[in-house]
Structure 1
Amino acid sequence: MTVQEVARALPAIESLKSLCRSLAMAEAILNPDGERYFSFNSTWSETEELASMRNGSGDEYDIVFAPTGAYIRGFDHESPLTPYRHHDVPEPWPGVLDSVPKIFQHYVQEPAFVDEQGTPVVTVCLWRELEDDTWKAGEIAFPEGHEDPDGSNYLFELLLSPTPEAYHSFAEDYYERTIDIEAVRDLYALRPLDASLITRLNASASIKDAIEAAEEIGYPMADGRLPHTA
């Protein structure tokens, strides 16, 4: 699958934002004390929100949700498109960033998305302005012999399969435990968070910590006040 095919398959901006909130909320409850696989910062700036993935093995993505649209950068450390293919002079693969529109250009050099030398840490990039009817990516000459050369299919697997069942399968394998599928479905439906939903997903999770995570994520809360107790 090429990044152009991924661009046609990704959900629209608002649907993608809701999906990213659900993923982050599930992770915050399932893995409250560890490094989060998925996260969401609803106050990344005064006007922008940020969804992120870090798999702990060097692969990552960030999605900026801005008033002008959305910008995605991903990095697969095993991709042949890595900027570090030439260790003496790291640089993005031709075409990956060349067509990023002016409205999103400042994200290319966003400090959180570059290395210590200022090189964009990227193998795949997509963007979508508010008036666009699909996601867009640059024209890229991919090296032959790779099914997923830039890692876009691998990195965005759960974004391309935006179902509770897909996350449930991933989470049971990743955390090696049984997980309540109905609780996952509730999170994917953005059912307001309450103590019952938290404990159904993880009986040992701190209610207080889950509430704090929901506030950061911008996940909807139940009308009634949740008890701020561990």
Structure 2
Amino acid sequence: MVGMNSPELVAELPHPAVLLERCRSLAVLDAIFAGRERTYAFDPAWGDGVALASMDNGGGDLYAVVFDPAGVFLYGFDHECDATPWREDDRVHWPGLLDGLPPALARYAAEPAFQLDGFFDATVCAWRETGDDAWRCGPVVFEDGESDGADFLFEQLLDADGTAYADWAEDIFERPVDRAAVAAVFSGAALTPELVHQLNPEADYEEIAREAAALGRRIP
């Protein structure tokens, strides 16, 4: 959704269980396509009962999604958007960004892994407590044309069949991508040798299968 900011993002994010599987699928796809140069990652045992999905494009833009028993905490940083904390000499968040963040998830805004020089660098922040029926964000307001980078950062997570990832992969890896095979990965299909080789004939299936299994992905 072009022009989407945090308020629109929380209306489009899927159920946490669906989001987790999409995050896992992105990490599996990146393992198949990218070898060691990864953009998307997933750690099912990042903390005690906590999984972490992340994206880092190497150009200053990133996100993290924490799947905690208490709920899901999501944040992103688009270094070129209007909401960047770097718009001020002393970094400051966009007004309202963290307002309403529930105590059960608030510690993640202070998590050292998510800070740069002691500051939580974020342009997008959203959450969904366990038992809640909707995603939430702070009362952020944007004028026409202003952006917090939500559309740029989270496009792949809003896409049910992997089309956005396939578009991105074709651009990044500069070769055609089998969109049906990408969709199969997103649908949860077993990660067979045939499926992996449809995506990348040069991939080492045994290595991919071991990594995918460690991520919790179904293989034959």
Map 1:74-223 → 2, pairs under 5 A: 74-87=76-89, 89-116=90-117, 118-142=118-142, 144-147=143-146, 149-222=147-220
C-alpha distance 84-166 of structure 1, shift in aligned 2 (>3 A): closer
Counterpart-to-counterpart distance in 1, 2:208 and 2:49: 24
Gaps in structure 2 of 5+ consecutive residues:
none
Residue number among 17, 20, 30 corresponding to 1:17 in the alignment: 20
C-alpha distance 93-165 of structure 1, shift in aligned 2 (>3 A): closer
Shift of 1:212: 3.1
8 Å contact kept, 1:63–1:72: yes
2:53 equivalent to 1:51: yes
Q: Which moved more, 1:14-23 or 1:154-163?
A: 154-163
Shift of 1:33: 2.6
Structure 2 letter corresponding to 1:103? A
| Aligned length, in residue pairs | 217
Which residue is equivalent to 1:66? 68
- What SS does the aligned partner of 1:140 have? coil
Shift of 1:165: 2.5
Residues 158-206 of structure 1: per-residue CA shift (max 9 Å, x gap) = 1222223332222112211012222212211111222222222111111
- What SS does the aligned partner of 1:43 have? strand
Counterpart-to-counterpart distance in 2, 1:95 and 1:165: 33
C-alpha distance 13-25 of structure 1, shift in aligned 2 (>3 A): same
Task: Please give the root-mean-square deviation of Cα atoms over the aligned residues, in Å.
Answer: 1.5
Counterpart-to-counterpart distance in 1, 2:161 and 2:172: 17
Residues 1-23 of structure 1: per-residue CA shift (max 9 Å, x gap) = 23111101111100111111111
8 Å contact kept, 1:91–1:120: no
Counterpart-to-counterpart distance in 2, 1:11 and 1:102: 23
Residues 42-97 of structure 1: per-residue CA shift (max 9 Å, x gap) = 1111210111111121111000011111000100001221122222x222222111
Higher share in strand = 2
Larger Rg: 1
Counterpart-to-counterpart distance in 1, 2:201 and 2:20: 27
Tell me the percent identity.
39
- TM normalised by structure 1 equals 0.89
